[in-house]
Structure 1
């Protein structure tokens, strides 16, 4: 069953990140927000949620915790007061060097060759795209006696 294999792989990956991020007191979702902002420097909360495929109910607490730790700031957009912009602080930017080893550690832990890793990444992206764009499946009618 592909679904269980995906579930098990996701749980194992999360365990790996939990162990690696523990010294910094970060969760994997918080780490993902940091990685995203290291790339983009500033994004709206909505864009963070879209990039990470999270809902606002999940994204806002992540951002709030990272802001409380001084890794990022939030401010209203000058163009649209309804939009909140999240930006990396110097402290958050400095953290990038401290955490630079993490992707390599996770890649090494998978014991996949580069070719297998690239192949798996391509397949997983296809699965995610296909499932995201597919209509929600319906259960077939059940005859009741």
Structure 2
């Protein structure tokens, strides 16, 4: 009896996860990251870090947290769709690091745009000289 070659897809074999499942693991990673940020900020502020006058208030804090969660979920889903995530642990790591990585890439991209350095030095006056 000849051994047959059987191809197993990630979904059919039961070993892999679907893209949205990896995205949820990425969301969990982002939640862990934000929890650590909250703990660190609470130690420095000696209480809730969003309380005024030392913090921005609860509204901006929760909006920033929501945006971090969205960034992490989208980046993790994209990485899963591209096939870069082999397991849930990697998805958690990508979700935890995604907001930081996106911030760095966005900063580099803004630096490459024409006129970005001129505006940082003084706006329209820097262009005229």
User: Into which bin does the TM-score normalised by the smaller protein fall?
Assistant: under 0.3
User: 1 or 2 for the larger relative contact order (CA 8 Å, sep ≥6)?
Assistant: 2
Instruction: Name whichever structure is richer in strand by fraction.
Output: 1
Whichever structure has more helix as a proportion of its residues is 2
**Larger Cα Rg: Structure 1 or Structure 2?**
2
